[in-house]
């Protein structure tokens, strides 16, 4: 886990095990083969993304394959950034985003206490651009305004297997890209109980 401090709020960048990437991708592909499952799993109405499809995975799948990994890394993130140990955390929601050519996720923030995004598939040459600043298909985290010796934007070029953990209130946006292929990612929100939050902030 690498802790980033580009501005006030801290972020963590970690690597997702290949086994977990494969399990999530296989689960999504199986859902997409079944029209009923695809419709049942649709999560797009609750989200802001201007993207083709957003799917909520089942609690059974999450509990079997993901929950231990997510909780372990969130606890580690809190420990490294606040020197506090936490026990009582709860996964609020988890969903997969399928983004294609010219689609995007506007600037937004999440609910819960801690949020995360992980990358499962990336198109070839997705960052291709005529401009010097290669932002196509990347993610920006935004906090405050630009000032002397202080950046307000942290840009990350996603690679398959990257996972970023951050405070829920940190605004972020996923840029469109202009090549064919799928940019598949997941997002999640975790709740921390009020007493523990007070302990961390105290």
Domain count, the chain: 1
DSSP per residue over 83-121, as a string? S-----EEEEEEEEEEE-TT-BEEEE--SSSEEEEEEEE
| Confidence at residue 4, expressed as pLDDT on a 0 to 100 scale | 86
**pTM to 2 decimal places:** 0.92
| Confidence at residue 28, expressed as pLDDT on a 0 to 100 scale | 97
| Confidence at residue 6, expressed as pLDDT on a 0 to 100 scale | 82
| CATH number (domain holding residue 72) | 2.60.120.620
List the domain range (segments joined by +) for residue 157: 2-201
Cα gap 88→73, rounded to integer Å: 14
Give the contacts of 35 (CB within 8 A, at least 6 positions apart).
none
DSSP per residue over 148-179, as a string? TTB-SEEEE---TTEEEEEETT-EEEE----S
Q: Which residue has the tokens 């993901």?
A: 66
Per run of 10 residues, the mean pLDDT along the chain (length 202 residues) is 86 97 98 95 88 94 96 94 86 96 95 96 90 89 86 94 97 95 97 81 70
Radius of gyration of the chain (CA): 17
User: Which among 61, 67, 175 is positioned nearest to 116, based on CA atoms?
Assistant: 67
């Amino acid at each position: 886990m690498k802790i980033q401090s580009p501005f006030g709020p801290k972020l963590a960048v970690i690597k997702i095990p290949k086994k977990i990437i494969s399990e999530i991708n296989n689960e999504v592909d199986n859902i997409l083969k079944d029209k009923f499952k695809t419709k049942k799993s649709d999560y797009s109405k609750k989200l802001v993304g201007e993207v083709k499809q957003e799917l909520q995975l089942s609690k059974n799948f999450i509990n079997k394959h993901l929950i231990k990994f997510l909780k372990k890394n969130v606890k580690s993130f809190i420990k490294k950034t606040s020197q506090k140990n936490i026990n009582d955390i709860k996964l609020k929601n988890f969903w997969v985003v399928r983004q294609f050519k010219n689609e995007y996720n506007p600037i937004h923030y999440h609910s819960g206490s801690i949020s995360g995004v992980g990358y499962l598939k990336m198109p070839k040459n997705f960052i291709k651009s005529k401009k010097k600043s290669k932002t196509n298909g990347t993610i920006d985290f935004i906090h405050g305004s630009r000032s002397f010796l202080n950046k307000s934007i942290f840009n990350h070029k996603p690679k398959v297997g990257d996972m970023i953990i951050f405070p829920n209130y940190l605004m972020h946006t996923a840029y469109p890209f202009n090549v064919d292929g799928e940019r598949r990612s997941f997002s999640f929100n975790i709740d921390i109980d009020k007493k523990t939050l007070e302990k961390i902030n105290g």
